[in-house]
Chain A
Amino acid sequence: MNISLNITETIQEWLMSMMPEGVASIAAMVTVALIYLIIFAVAGLYLVLLERRVAAWFQLRIGPNRVGPLGLLQTMADALKLVSKELTGTIKADKFLYNLAPYFVIVSSLMALAVFPFTKEFQAFDINIGIFFLIAISSIGVIGILLGGWSSNNKFALIGAMRSGVQTISYELSVGLSLLTMIVITGSLQLSEIVEVQKQGWLILQGHVPAIIAFMVYMIAGTAETNRAPFDMVEAESELGAGFHTEYSGMKFAYFFLAEFINMFIIAAIATTVFFGAWLSPFGITESLPWLGVFWFLGKTLILVFLMMWFRWTFPRLRVDQLLTLEWKYLLPINLINILIMAIIVWLNLTIKF
């Protein structure tokens, strides 16, 4: 069985056969973009459902189980309800920025989705600075949150936005540095090459002790960057209502909500790519069937997503000062020392290779 998943090329060749070159390349771009939009929407909706089922499981409830078989259509129904809702806003809000803000958040997470290697071929954009591109893109999303909070003309929203800004700027450092630790082993930023290196063992095994420390730091900082509990200072219900999206309703709220879940997926997908060998199967058991890579990639990613949901329903929320202490006094020094250790290990050839 040989399924070609090289989407950009397959689509382009197929379109080339029926229209002139210029039109075909534009049509191919549009088609690939549409495919990713659909992945985005479906993944977002089902992650929401997964979150609700996991939450229910942790709290000994059943969770959504009425709409469709096993409640699988619940979030679809919710999305339809949100589409039909009225778009409200505050008086004296800066309407232009207020309407623009959700798109910042959603576009930045969509752009990040394009670079992941779901299999060897299923990758829309294999840019030669892969990881760095992801870090660059993820730093833009926070602008949407800041704008949304400010232009709502609501004090709770503004405080939520400011907290989010502080949090994202601080934890971005740890995310970047922990990924950099792994780049020391791979020697390349390109995601396809990072996967190539991992054919000799996943990086978390190759780099043993410092890699595990880097993974822990990455998961903590990643959870903080997606503004999820225990780091959800941004939308702490007891203090701020719903935080920066208090004033948003209907589809615009749904954009923020979807983007949050997609960001969680992105953080887990980066961890999968950098630490757990992306689409590579354990011990190469399905090497002869390359299209199964999608299954492995999504499987590993969903395990990490489940880990993040586990965090959310286990740990109590941090205070702002605890949040900043954790980053600047613990994670950052640990990270810097960890890079040094990793550099020494790579220098002395102490990595484990199979």
Chain B
Amino acid sequence: MEKYIFYILSFIIIAFAVASVSSRKMLRSVIYLLFVLCGIAGIYFLIDYNFLAAIQLTVYAGGIIVLIIFSVLLVHHIEMELEMAKVSRKILTGLLCALGLGVFLYTIYTNDFNVIENNITTSTAHIGSKLLSYDTGGFILPFEVVSVLLLAAMIGAIVIAKGRKLTDKNEEAL
């Protein structure tokens, strides 16, 4: 049963990934990308890692895709289509993609994977205590670094969005 669901999901992911890069309408490729991300969330559900699946749905499907849609809505008209690339460029991109895929597949097929039976569902409590533990195997340092990074990004966004203060001098310059 799991096997079939995995194949169905991977077929969905691959098909929509190809559709996403080959579609000439911008918003359609965004929607295909959304299906790819939902498929990945499906795989997380399949391996019983519900928390990551929900994160995938909230952050990628609910957050990033909505932001992309917003920017597309603002700049893109319904009749516009992306232009076709030159043939030489297409060939070059194809070759590079084939090379990347080759390296990827070679690594996967030569690596010895340890198959372990895992029936434990990761709980949020477990994730939380690991994230805040400073013993061996704890993730407190990356957690703090990411927090500082996010704070910096937030402050930066506010500063950029606020722009320069409107004073009398600005009026004169205009």
Contact = CB atoms under 8 A, between A and B. Distances in A.
Interface of A: 22, 25, 92-94, 96-97, 100, 127-129, 132-133, 135-137, 139-140, 142-143, 146-147, 150-151, 153, 158, 161-162, 165, 169, 172, 187-189
A129 B124 contact: yes
A132 B124 CA distance: 10
A123 to B, nearest CB: 15
Contact of A161 (B55, B57, B73): B73
B54 interface: yes
B1 A25 contact: yes
B79 interface: yes
Contacts of B1: 22, 25
A133 B53 CA distance: 9
15 contacts: A25-B1, A96-B28, A127-B50, A128-B50, A128-B123, A129-B124, A132-B51, A133-B50, A140-B62, A142-B62, A146-B66, A146-B73, A147-B31, A162-B73, A169-B66
A136 B65 contact: no
A275 B61 CA distance: 28
A108 to B, nearest CB: 10
B66 A97 contact: no
Contacts of A100: 31
Given A136-B62, A162-B73, A129 B78 contact: no
A3 B121 CA distance: 31
What 3 pairs across the A-B complex have the smallest Cβ distances?
A139-B62, A136-B57, A136-B54
B34 interface: yes
B24 to A, nearest CB: 12
B69 A147 contact: yes
Contacts of B66: 139, 142-143, 146, 165, 169
Interface string B110-121: 000000000001
B130 interface: no
Interface in B116-174: 121, 123-125
B63 interface: yes
B31 A135 contact: no
B54 A158 contact: no
Contacts, number: 81
Given A129-B50, A147-B31, A165-B69, 4 more contacts: A97-B27, A129-B124, A132-B58, A133-B50
A109 B41 CA distance: 18
Given A94-B27, A97-B31, A146 B78 contact: no
Assign chain B's interface to a size class.
Answer: 20 to 34
Contacts of B57: 136-137, 139-140
A182 B79 CA distance: 48
Interface string B86-114: 00000000000000000000000000000
Main secondary structure of the interface of B (DSSP, over half): helix
A155 B79 CA distance: 14
B54 A133 contact: yes
Contact of B73 (A127, A135, A158): A158
Nearest to B38: A140
Interface string B21-48: 0000101100100100000000000000
Contacts of B11: none
A135 B58 contact: yes
A147 B73 CA distance: 9
B56 to A, nearest CB: 8
B66 to A, nearest CB: 6
Q: Which of A143, A161, A169 has the most CB of B within 10 A?
A: A143
Contacts of A94: 25, 27-28, 78
A139 B70 CA distance: 14
A169 B69 CA distance: 13
A150 B28 CA distance: 11
A163 to B, nearest CB: 12
B79 A143 contact: no
Q: Which of A92, A96, A128 has the most CB of B within 10 A?
A: A128
Contacts of B31: 97, 100, 147
Contacts of B69: 143, 146-147, 150, 165
A136 B58 contact: yes
A71 B31 CA distance: 42
Contacts of B27: 94, 97, 147, 150-151
B51 A150 contact: no
A127 B50 CA distance: 8
Given A139-B61, A146-B69, A93 B78 contact: yes
Nearest to B122: A128
B50 to A, nearest CB: 5
Nearest to A154: B78
Contact of B121 (A128, A139, A158, A172): A128
| Interface hub of B62, B65, B66, B70 (most chain A Cβ within 10 A) | B62
